[in-house]
Protein backbone atom coordinates (compact mmCIF):
# COMPACT_ATOMS: atom_id res chain seq x y z
CA UNK A 1 0.00 0.00 0.00
CA UNK A 2 1.49 3.24 -1.10
CA UNK A 3 1.91 6.02 1.40
CA UNK A 4 -0.67 8.73 0.92
CA UNK A 5 0.87 12.16 0.18
CA UNK A 6 -0.03 14.80 2.66
CA UNK A 7 -1.82 17.37 0.49
CA UNK A 8 -2.38 19.91 3.27
CA UNK A 9 -0.61 23.20 2.40
CA UNK A 10 0.11 25.86 4.92
CA UNK A 11 -0.08 29.42 3.48
CA UNK A 12 2.16 32.17 4.88
CA UNK A 13 1.01 35.83 4.97
CA UNK A 14 3.14 37.96 2.69
CA UNK A 15 4.83 40.85 4.42
CA UNK A 16 3.99 44.06 2.45
CA UNK A 17 6.97 45.78 0.94
CA UNK A 18 7.48 49.49 1.36
CA UNK A 19 7.25 51.28 -2.02
CA UNK A 20 9.96 53.88 -1.64
CA UNK A 21 9.33 55.36 -5.09
CA UNK A 22 5.63 55.84 -4.53
CA UNK A 23 6.17 57.41 -1.11
CA UNK A 24 8.74 59.82 -2.51
CA UNK A 25 6.36 60.82 -5.29
CA UNK A 26 3.58 61.38 -2.77
CA UNK A 27 5.80 63.57 -0.61
CA UNK A 28 6.95 65.60 -3.59
CA UNK A 29 3.35 66.03 -4.73
CA UNK A 30 2.28 67.27 -1.28
CA UNK A 31 5.26 69.65 -1.19
CA UNK A 32 4.41 71.07 -4.61
CA UNK A 33 0.75 71.54 -3.68
CA UNK A 34 1.60 73.25 -0.37
CA UNK A 35 4.21 75.44 -2.07
CA UNK A 36 1.72 76.50 -4.76
CA UNK A 37 -0.94 77.28 -2.16
CA UNK A 38 1.49 79.36 -0.13
CA UNK A 39 2.71 81.08 -3.29
CA UNK A 40 -0.75 82.08 -4.41
CA UNK A 41 -1.77 83.16 -0.92
CA UNK A 42 1.34 85.24 -0.47
CA UNK A 43 0.68 88.88 -1.47
CA UNK A 44 2.45 89.93 -4.64
CA UNK A 45 4.94 92.71 -4.15
CA UNK A 46 4.53 95.53 -6.64
CA UNK A 47 7.56 97.54 -7.71
CA UNK A 48 7.37 101.03 -9.21
CA UNK A 49 9.95 102.70 -11.43
CA UNK A 50 10.65 106.25 -10.29
CA UNK A 51 10.44 108.88 -13.04
CA UNK A 52 10.91 112.63 -13.14
CA UNK A 53 7.55 114.32 -13.60
CA UNK A 54 5.66 117.56 -13.21
CA UNK A 55 2.47 117.62 -11.15
CA UNK A 56 -0.02 120.42 -10.75
CA UNK A 57 -3.06 120.60 -8.50
CA UNK A 58 -6.07 121.89 -10.42
CA UNK A 59 -9.34 123.15 -8.94
CA UNK A 60 -12.27 123.34 -11.33
CA UNK A 61 -14.57 126.30 -10.67
CA UNK A 62 -17.57 127.97 -12.24
CA UNK A 63 -16.75 131.50 -13.32
CA UNK A 64 -19.17 134.37 -13.86
CA UNK A 65 -18.04 137.04 -16.32
CA UNK A 66 -18.57 140.72 -15.51
CA UNK A 67 -17.92 143.53 -17.99
CA UNK A 68 -18.76 147.23 -18.36
CA UNK A 69 -21.97 146.68 -20.33
CA UNK A 70 -24.55 149.18 -21.47
CA UNK A 71 -27.90 148.35 -23.07
CA UNK A 72 -28.74 150.80 -25.88
CA UNK A 73 -32.47 151.16 -26.60
CA UNK A 74 -34.17 151.74 -29.96
CA UNK A 75 -34.89 155.39 -30.74
CA UNK A 76 -38.16 154.62 -32.56
CA UNK A 77 -40.41 151.76 -33.53
CA UNK A 78 -39.59 149.74 -36.62
CA UNK A 79 -37.53 146.97 -38.20
CA UNK A 80 -33.82 147.20 -37.42
CA UNK A 81 -31.05 146.45 -39.85
CA UNK A 82 -27.57 146.34 -38.29
CA UNK A 83 -24.31 147.44 -39.91
CA UNK A 84 -21.85 145.82 -37.47
CA UNK A 85 -21.11 142.19 -36.78
CA UNK A 86 -21.26 140.76 -33.27
CA UNK A 87 -18.03 141.60 -31.43
CA UNK A 88 -17.02 144.44 -33.75
CA UNK A 89 -15.50 147.63 -32.37
CA UNK A 90 -17.63 150.63 -33.24
CA UNK A 91 -16.41 154.23 -33.07
CA UNK A 92 -18.46 157.11 -31.71
CA UNK A 93 -20.97 158.84 -34.06
CA UNK A 94 -20.97 155.99 -36.62
CA UNK A 95 -24.18 154.45 -37.97
CA UNK A 96 -24.92 151.25 -36.03
CA UNK A 97 -28.30 150.35 -37.47
CA UNK A 98 -31.16 151.68 -39.55
CA UNK A 99 -34.85 151.75 -38.64
CA UNK A 100 -37.57 150.97 -41.15
CA UNK A 101 -40.69 152.35 -39.44
CA UNK A 102 -43.17 151.49 -42.21
CA UNK A 103 -41.91 147.99 -42.97
CA UNK A 104 -41.86 148.59 -46.75
CA UNK A 105 -38.12 148.19 -47.11
CA UNK A 106 -38.15 145.26 -44.73
CA UNK A 107 -40.71 143.42 -46.88
CA UNK A 108 -38.69 144.10 -50.02
CA UNK A 109 -35.57 142.84 -48.29
CA UNK A 110 -37.38 139.65 -47.23
CA UNK A 111 -38.42 139.04 -50.82
CA UNK A 112 -34.87 139.67 -52.02
CA UNK A 113 -33.42 137.29 -49.41
CA UNK A 114 -36.04 134.59 -49.88
CA UNK A 115 -33.93 132.90 -52.52
CA UNK A 116 -30.67 133.59 -50.73
CA UNK A 117 -28.32 130.61 -50.56
CA UNK A 118 -25.39 130.21 -48.19
CA UNK A 119 -21.91 130.41 -49.60
CA UNK A 120 -19.32 127.71 -48.97
CA UNK A 121 -17.66 129.83 -46.27
CA UNK A 122 -21.05 130.50 -44.62
CA UNK A 123 -21.84 126.79 -44.50
CA UNK A 124 -18.39 126.14 -43.10
CA UNK A 125 -18.99 128.67 -40.32
CA UNK A 126 -22.20 126.94 -39.28
CA UNK A 127 -20.58 123.52 -39.44
CA UNK A 128 -17.71 124.70 -37.21
CA UNK A 129 -20.24 125.75 -34.58
CA UNK A 130 -21.85 122.31 -34.69
CA UNK A 131 -18.48 120.51 -34.56
CA UNK A 132 -17.31 122.51 -31.56
CA UNK A 133 -20.54 121.70 -29.75
CA UNK A 134 -20.23 117.96 -30.45
CA UNK A 135 -16.68 117.90 -29.05
CA UNK A 136 -17.66 119.52 -25.73
CA UNK A 137 -21.24 118.21 -25.35
CA UNK A 138 -22.23 117.15 -21.86
CA UNK A 139 -25.73 115.77 -21.46
CA UNK A 140 -25.91 116.86 -17.82
CA UNK A 141 -25.16 120.49 -18.67
CA UNK A 142 -28.21 122.13 -20.21
CA UNK A 143 -26.41 125.47 -20.20
CA UNK A 144 -24.07 124.20 -22.94
CA UNK A 145 -27.07 123.24 -25.09
CA UNK A 146 -28.72 126.63 -24.74
CA UNK A 147 -25.40 128.32 -25.57
CA UNK A 148 -25.14 126.21 -28.71
CA UNK A 149 -28.65 127.12 -29.84
CA UNK A 150 -27.92 130.79 -29.21
CA UNK A 151 -24.65 130.55 -31.12
CA UNK A 152 -26.24 128.98 -34.20
CA UNK A 153 -29.09 131.50 -34.21
CA UNK A 154 -26.62 134.32 -33.82
CA UNK A 155 -24.57 133.07 -36.77
CA UNK A 156 -27.66 132.78 -38.96
CA UNK A 157 -28.76 136.31 -38.05
CA UNK A 158 -25.20 137.51 -38.69
CA UNK A 159 -25.29 136.11 -42.21
CA UNK A 160 -28.80 137.41 -42.81
CA UNK A 161 -27.89 140.93 -41.63
CA UNK A 162 -24.81 140.92 -43.84
CA UNK A 163 -26.90 140.13 -46.93
CA UNK A 164 -29.53 142.69 -46.01
CA UNK A 165 -26.97 145.45 -45.64
CA UNK A 166 -25.71 144.76 -49.15
CA UNK A 167 -29.23 145.08 -50.54
CA UNK A 168 -30.45 148.13 -48.61
CA UNK A 169 -28.76 150.78 -50.78
CA UNK A 170 -29.85 149.02 -53.93
CA UNK A 171 -33.50 148.94 -52.83
CA UNK A 172 -33.46 152.54 -51.63
CA UNK A 173 -32.12 153.68 -54.97
CA UNK A 174 -34.49 151.59 -57.12
CA UNK A 175 -37.65 152.05 -55.06
CA UNK A 176 -36.95 155.62 -53.94
CA UNK A 177 -38.10 154.87 -50.42
CA UNK A 178 -36.36 157.04 -47.89
CA UNK A 179 -39.04 158.75 -45.81
CA UNK A 180 -39.57 155.84 -43.41
CA UNK A 181 -35.93 154.90 -43.26
CA UNK A 182 -33.69 156.37 -40.56
CA UNK A 183 -30.04 155.80 -39.61
CA UNK A 184 -29.04 155.62 -35.93
CA UNK A 185 -25.47 156.40 -34.82
CA UNK A 186 -23.60 155.39 -31.69
CA UNK A 187 -23.28 157.88 -28.85
CA UNK A 188 -20.00 156.37 -27.66
CA UNK A 189 -17.40 153.85 -28.79
CA UNK A 190 -17.23 150.25 -27.66
CA UNK A 191 -17.64 146.61 -28.64
CA UNK A 192 -21.09 145.73 -29.92
CA UNK A 193 -22.90 142.66 -28.65
CA UNK A 194 -26.39 141.31 -29.37
CA UNK A 195 -27.57 139.51 -26.23
CA UNK A 196 -28.84 140.46 -22.78
CA UNK A 197 -29.39 138.33 -19.68
CA UNK A 198 -30.05 140.65 -16.75
CA UNK A 199 -26.47 140.58 -15.46
CA UNK A 200 -25.48 143.81 -17.21
CA UNK A 201 -25.71 145.92 -14.05
CA UNK A 202 -24.16 143.33 -11.76
CA UNK A 203 -20.92 144.24 -9.97
CA UNK A 204 -18.49 142.17 -7.93
CA UNK A 205 -19.93 143.79 -4.79
CA UNK A 206 -23.46 142.40 -5.33
CA UNK A 207 -22.61 138.97 -6.81
CA UNK A 208 -23.63 136.10 -4.52
CA UNK A 209 -24.00 132.33 -4.52
CA UNK A 210 -27.49 132.46 -6.05
CA UNK A 211 -26.14 134.22 -9.14
CA UNK A 212 -24.26 131.02 -10.09
CA UNK A 213 -27.48 129.00 -10.43
CA UNK A 214 -27.37 128.30 -14.17
CA UNK A 215 -30.66 126.36 -14.12
CA UNK A 216 -32.50 129.69 -14.04
CA UNK A 217 -30.23 131.48 -16.47
CA UNK A 218 -31.83 132.93 -19.63
CA UNK A 219 -30.14 134.68 -22.52
CA UNK A 220 -32.14 136.90 -24.90
CA UNK A 221 -31.14 137.54 -28.51
CA UNK A 222 -31.46 141.27 -29.30
CA UNK A 223 -31.22 140.95 -33.07
CA UNK A 224 -34.60 139.98 -34.41
CA UNK A 225 -36.58 140.01 -37.62
CA UNK A 226 -39.65 141.22 -35.74
CA UNK A 227 -40.64 144.85 -35.30
CA UNK A 228 -38.92 146.53 -32.34
CA UNK A 229 -40.80 149.05 -30.23
CA UNK A 230 -39.38 152.37 -29.17
CA UNK A 231 -37.15 152.10 -26.06
CA UNK A 232 -36.85 148.33 -26.46
CA UNK A 233 -33.23 147.04 -26.23
CA UNK A 234 -31.52 147.35 -29.64
CA UNK A 235 -27.99 146.22 -28.84
CA UNK A 236 -25.44 146.08 -26.07
CA UNK A 237 -22.19 148.02 -25.89
CA UNK A 238 -19.13 146.89 -23.93
CA UNK A 239 -17.33 150.08 -23.04
CA UNK A 240 -14.07 148.77 -21.53
CA UNK A 241 -11.65 146.00 -22.42
CA UNK A 242 -10.95 145.38 -18.74
CA UNK A 243 -13.18 142.67 -17.33
CA UNK A 244 -13.46 140.22 -14.46
CA UNK A 245 -14.22 136.57 -13.82
CA UNK A 246 -15.82 135.90 -10.44
CA UNK A 247 -15.11 132.33 -9.27
CA UNK A 248 -17.26 130.49 -6.77
CA UNK A 249 -14.58 128.48 -4.92
CA UNK A 250 -14.25 125.88 -2.18
CA UNK A 251 -12.95 126.57 1.34
CA UNK A 252 -9.83 124.52 0.51
CA UNK A 253 -8.99 126.65 -2.53
CA UNK A 254 -9.79 129.84 -0.62
CA UNK A 255 -7.27 128.86 2.07
CA UNK A 256 -4.57 128.09 -0.49
CA UNK A 257 -5.10 131.40 -2.30
CA UNK A 258 -5.09 133.26 1.01
CA UNK A 259 -1.84 131.53 1.99
CA UNK A 260 -0.31 132.57 -1.33
CA UNK A 261 -1.37 136.17 -0.79
CA UNK A 262 0.16 136.18 2.71
CA UNK A 263 3.39 134.75 1.36
CA UNK A 264 3.52 137.43 -1.35
CA UNK A 265 2.93 140.21 1.19
CA UNK A 266 5.89 139.00 3.24
CA UNK A 267 7.99 139.44 0.10
CA UNK A 268 6.54 142.97 -0.40
CA UNK A 269 4.56 141.75 -3.43
CA UNK A 270 1.26 143.63 -3.33
CA UNK A 271 -0.49 141.83 -6.20
CA UNK A 272 -0.83 138.05 -6.22
CA UNK A 273 -1.11 136.08 -9.47
CA UNK A 274 -2.57 132.68 -10.26
CA UNK A 275 -2.48 130.48 -13.37
CA UNK A 276 -5.84 129.53 -14.88
CA UNK A 277 -7.00 127.38 -17.77
CA UNK A 278 -10.44 127.58 -19.37
CA UNK A 279 -12.03 124.20 -20.05
CA UNK A 280 -13.68 125.03 -23.36
CA UNK A 281 -10.99 126.96 -25.25
CA UNK A 282 -8.04 125.53 -23.29
CA UNK A 283 -6.79 129.09 -22.75
CA UNK A 284 -3.86 129.10 -20.31
CA UNK A 285 -2.79 132.39 -18.74
CA UNK A 286 -1.59 133.97 -15.48
CA UNK A 287 -3.73 136.75 -14.00
CA UNK A 288 -3.95 138.85 -10.81
CA UNK A 289 -6.56 137.78 -8.28
CA UNK A 290 -8.22 138.75 -5.03
CA UNK A 291 -10.46 136.76 -2.67
CA UNK A 292 -13.40 137.52 -0.43
CA UNK A 293 -16.12 135.85 1.64
CA UNK A 294 -19.83 136.56 1.42
CA UNK A 295 -22.19 134.95 3.90
CA UNK A 296 -21.20 131.24 3.87
CA UNK A 297 -19.57 131.25 0.41
CA UNK A 298 -16.06 131.89 -0.91
CA UNK A 299 -15.15 133.81 -4.05
CA UNK A 300 -12.11 134.80 -6.09
CA UNK A 301 -11.93 137.73 -8.51
CA UNK A 302 -9.73 137.33 -11.58
CA UNK A 303 -8.75 140.61 -13.22
CA UNK A 304 -8.59 140.32 -17.00
CA UNK A 305 -7.46 142.74 -19.70
CA UNK A 306 -7.16 140.36 -22.66
CA UNK A 307 -9.08 137.57 -24.42
CA UNK A 308 -12.49 139.21 -24.08
CA UNK A 309 -13.33 138.29 -27.68
CA UNK A 310 -13.14 134.58 -26.77
CA UNK A 311 -15.95 134.96 -24.24
CA UNK A 312 -17.98 137.79 -25.75
CA UNK A 313 -21.25 135.83 -25.79
CA UNK A 314 -20.61 133.94 -22.55
CA UNK A 315 -21.72 134.77 -19.05
CA UNK A 316 -20.49 131.58 -17.41
CA UNK A 317 -17.18 129.83 -18.03
CA UNK A 318 -15.55 126.71 -16.57
CA UNK A 319 -12.12 127.58 -15.14
CA UNK A 320 -9.33 125.39 -13.76
CA UNK A 321 -7.22 127.17 -11.14
CA UNK A 322 -3.71 125.67 -11.26
CA UNK A 323 -1.69 125.55 -8.04
CA UNK A 324 1.35 123.67 -6.73
CA UNK A 325 3.05 123.31 -10.09
CA UNK A 326 6.23 121.42 -9.13
CA UNK A 327 8.93 119.28 -10.76
CA UNK A 328 10.64 116.29 -9.20
CA UNK A 329 10.55 112.52 -8.82
CA UNK A 330 7.05 111.06 -8.88
CA UNK A 331 6.31 108.23 -6.42
CA UNK A 332 3.08 106.60 -5.15
CA UNK A 333 1.86 107.92 -1.81
CA UNK A 334 1.37 104.31 -0.69
CA UNK A 335 5.13 103.73 -0.91
CA UNK A 336 5.88 106.14 1.95
CA UNK A 337 7.07 104.79 5.28
CA UNK A 338 8.79 106.34 8.31
CA UNK A 339 12.06 105.32 9.92
CA UNK A 340 13.63 106.66 13.09
CA UNK A 341 17.14 108.15 12.94
CA UNK A 342 19.51 109.77 15.39
CA UNK A 343 19.92 113.50 14.78
CA UNK A 344 23.47 114.87 14.76
CA UNK A 345 24.86 118.34 13.88
CA UNK A 346 26.46 118.23 10.43
CA UNK A 347 29.83 119.54 11.71
CA UNK A 348 30.39 116.24 13.55
CA UNK A 349 30.59 114.33 10.28
CA UNK A 350 34.16 113.91 9.05
CA UNK A 351 35.96 112.11 6.21
CA UNK A 352 38.36 109.22 6.78
CA UNK A 353 41.74 110.01 5.17
CA UNK A 354 42.45 106.41 4.17
CA UNK A 355 39.10 105.27 2.77
CA UNK A 356 37.65 108.67 1.83
CA UNK A 357 34.34 107.64 3.40
CA UNK A 358 32.16 109.78 5.63
CA UNK A 359 31.75 108.96 9.29
CA UNK A 360 31.64 110.09 12.90
CA UNK A 361 34.24 109.78 15.66
CA UNK A 362 32.73 107.93 18.61
CA UNK A 363 34.30 107.94 22.06
CA UNK A 364 35.21 104.44 23.34
CA UNK A 365 36.80 103.38 26.61
CA UNK A 366 38.90 100.34 27.53
CA UNK A 367 38.74 98.44 30.81
CA UNK A 368 41.03 100.93 32.50
CA UNK A 369 38.82 103.83 31.47
CA UNK A 370 41.22 105.17 28.89
CA UNK A 371 39.43 107.12 26.14
CA UNK A 372 40.01 106.62 22.43
CA UNK A 373 38.05 107.28 19.26
CA UNK A 374 36.42 104.83 16.85
CA UNK A 375 35.53 105.88 13.31
CA UNK A 376 31.93 104.86 12.54
CA UNK A 377 31.11 104.94 8.85
CA UNK A 378 27.84 106.76 8.06
CA UNK A 379 27.85 106.69 4.29
CA UNK A 380 24.06 106.33 4.17
CA UNK A 381 23.36 109.40 6.32
CA UNK A 382 21.00 112.17 5.20
CA UNK A 383 21.52 115.92 5.70
CA UNK A 384 18.64 118.40 5.74
CA UNK A 385 18.54 122.13 5.01
CA UNK A 386 19.02 122.96 8.73
CA UNK A 387 22.53 121.42 8.78
CA UNK A 388 21.37 118.40 10.75
CA UNK A 389 22.51 114.90 9.78
CA UNK A 390 20.43 111.79 10.38
CA UNK A 391 22.30 108.54 11.01
CA UNK A 392 21.12 104.95 11.30
CA UNK A 393 20.13 104.00 14.87
CA UNK A 394 21.91 100.66 14.52
CA UNK A 395 25.28 102.47 14.50
CA UNK A 396 24.97 104.11 17.92
CA UNK A 397 23.34 103.73 21.30
CA UNK A 398 21.50 106.48 23.08
CA UNK A 399 23.81 108.32 25.46
CA UNK A 400 27.05 107.70 23.56
CA UNK A 401 29.38 110.62 22.96
CA UNK A 402 30.80 111.73 19.63
CA UNK A 403 33.56 114.21 18.87
CA UNK A 404 34.00 117.09 16.45
CA UNK A 405 37.40 116.37 14.88
CA UNK A 406 38.12 120.04 14.19
CA UNK A 407 37.00 121.68 17.43
CA UNK A 408 37.18 118.66 19.79
CA UNK A 409 33.69 119.55 21.03
CA UNK A 410 31.54 116.69 22.31
CA UNK A 411 27.94 115.83 21.49
CA UNK A 412 25.79 113.18 23.17
CA UNK A 413 23.68 110.97 20.95
CA UNK A 414 20.06 111.18 22.13
CA UNK A 415 17.71 113.15 19.86
CA UNK A 416 15.75 111.07 17.33
CA UNK A 417 13.51 111.98 14.46
CA UNK A 418 11.35 109.97 12.10
CA UNK A 419 12.06 110.56 8.43
CA UNK A 420 9.77 109.74 5.55
CA UNK A 421 11.16 107.51 2.87
CA UNK A 422 10.61 104.51 0.63
CA UNK A 423 12.05 101.02 0.17
CA UNK A 424 14.49 100.92 -2.74
CA UNK A 425 14.96 97.46 -4.34
CA UNK A 426 17.58 98.15 -7.01
CA UNK A 427 19.82 95.36 -5.65
CA UNK A 428 17.19 92.70 -4.93
CA UNK A 429 16.55 93.60 -1.30
CA UNK A 430 14.71 96.47 0.37
CA UNK A 431 16.79 99.46 1.46
CA UNK A 432 15.26 102.51 3.15
CA UNK A 433 15.86 105.75 1.24
CA UNK A 434 14.78 109.08 2.76
CA UNK A 435 12.75 111.47 0.61
CA UNK A 436 11.97 115.17 0.84
CA UNK A 437 8.39 115.79 -0.27
CA UNK A 438 7.65 119.01 -2.16
CA UNK A 439 4.08 118.13 -3.15
CA UNK A 440 1.63 115.45 -2.10
CA UNK A 441 -1.91 114.39 -3.00
CA UNK A 442 -3.91 111.24 -2.27
CA UNK A 443 -2.30 109.19 -5.03
CA UNK A 444 1.18 110.54 -5.79
CA UNK A 445 3.99 112.63 -4.34
CA UNK A 446 6.70 114.74 -5.90
CA UNK A 447 10.03 114.46 -4.06
CA UNK A 448 13.28 116.34 -4.53
CA UNK A 449 15.71 114.63 -6.90
CA UNK A 450 19.41 114.05 -6.28
CA UNK A 451 19.43 114.48 -2.51
CA UNK A 452 22.31 112.68 -0.77
CA UNK A 453 21.55 108.95 -0.35
CA UNK A 454 18.06 109.60 -1.71
CA UNK A 455 16.21 108.53 -4.85
CA UNK A 456 17.28 109.02 -8.45
CA UNK A 457 15.48 108.80 -11.76
CA UNK A 458 14.62 105.20 -12.79
CA UNK A 459 15.15 103.75 -9.30
CA UNK A 460 12.82 100.89 -8.35
CA UNK A 461 10.79 101.14 -5.15
CA UNK A 462 8.09 99.12 -3.35
CA UNK A 463 4.60 100.41 -4.19
CA UNK A 464 3.04 99.35 -0.86
CA UNK A 465 5.59 99.72 1.92
CA UNK A 466 3.43 97.66 4.31
CA UNK A 467 4.11 94.47 2.30
CA UNK A 468 7.84 94.28 3.13
CA UNK A 469 10.36 95.08 5.85
CA UNK A 470 13.81 96.58 5.54
CA UNK A 471 16.48 94.20 4.18
CA UNK A 472 13.86 91.73 2.85
CA UNK A 473 14.91 89.82 -0.25
CA UNK A 474 12.66 90.78 -3.12
CA UNK A 475 12.35 87.84 -5.52
CA UNK A 476 8.62 87.73 -6.07
CA UNK A 477 7.29 90.98 -7.44
CA UNK A 478 5.57 92.51 -10.41
CA UNK A 479 6.44 95.84 -11.98
CA UNK A 480 4.24 98.86 -12.44
Per DSSP bridges, beta strands 45-49 and 477-479 are parallel
> What number of residues does the chain have?
480
Orientation angle between helical segments 142-175 and 104-113, nearest 10 degrees:
110
Specify whether the CB–CB gap between 191 and 82 falls below 8 A: no
Specify whether the CB–CB gap between 116 and 204 falls below 8 A: no
Tell me the sheet residues that pair with 243: 304
Rounded distance between C-alpha atoms, residue 256 and residue 254, angstroms: 6
Specify whether the CB–CB gap between 350 and 422 falls below 8 A: no
What angle is formed at CA 247 by the lines to CA 246 and CA 250, rounded to 5 degrees? 150
Rounded distance between C-alpha atoms, residue 406 and residue 141, angstroms: 71
28 DSSP 8-state letter: H
Rounded distance between C-alpha atoms, residue 402 and residue 360, angstroms: 7
Count of CB atoms situated within 10 Å of the CB of 401: 15
Specify whether the CB–CB gap between 77 and 229 falls below 8 A: yes
Rounded distance between C-alpha atoms, residue 216 and residue 162, angstroms: 33
Domain ranges of the chain: 68-239, 332-479
Query: Could you read off the pLDDT tens digit of each residue along the chain, which spans 480 residues?
Result: 445 555 555 555 665 666 777 777 788 888 888 877 766 665 667 889 998 887 777 899 999 999 999 999 999 898 888 888 888 898 999 888 888 887 666 665 555 554 555 555 556 655 665 665 555 555 545 445 555 555 555 555 555 555 555 555 555 555 555 556 788 999 999 999 999 999 999 998 889 999 999 888 888 989 887 889 999 999 999 999 999 999 999 999 999 999 999 989 998 988 999 999 987 777 889 999 999 999 889 999 999 999 988 898 899 999 999 887 778 999 999 999 999 999 999 899 888 888 888 889 999 988 888 888 889 888 778 888 788 889 988 899 899 999 988 899 999 999 999 999 999 999 888 999 999 888 887 888 889 887 878 888 899 999 998 888 888 888 665 556
Rounded distance between C-alpha atoms, residue 224 and residue 284, angstroms: 36
Rounded distance between C-alpha atoms, residue 441 and residue 57, angstroms: 8
470 DSSP 8-state letter: T
pTM reported for the whole predicted model: 0.57
How does 42-81 read in b/e, with b if 16+ C-beta sit within 10 Å? eeebbbbebeeeebeeebebbbbbbbebeebebeeebbbb
Three-state DSSP class for 160? helix
Rounded distance between C-alpha atoms, residue 301 and residue 276, angstroms: 12
Amino acid sequence: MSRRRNKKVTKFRRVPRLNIGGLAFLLILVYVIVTCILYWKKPKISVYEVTEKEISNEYNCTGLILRDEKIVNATKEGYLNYYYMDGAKIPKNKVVYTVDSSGEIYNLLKDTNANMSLSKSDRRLLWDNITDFRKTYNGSNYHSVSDFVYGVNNTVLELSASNMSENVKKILKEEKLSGSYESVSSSQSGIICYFMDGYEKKTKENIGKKDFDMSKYEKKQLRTEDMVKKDDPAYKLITSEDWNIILHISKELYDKLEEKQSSDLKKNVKTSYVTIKTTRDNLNTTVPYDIYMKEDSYFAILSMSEYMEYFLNDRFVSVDVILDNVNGLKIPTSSLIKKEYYQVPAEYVTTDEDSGKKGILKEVYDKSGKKSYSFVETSDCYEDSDNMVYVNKDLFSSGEWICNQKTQERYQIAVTKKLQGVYNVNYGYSVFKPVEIVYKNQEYCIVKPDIENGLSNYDHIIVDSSTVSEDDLINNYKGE
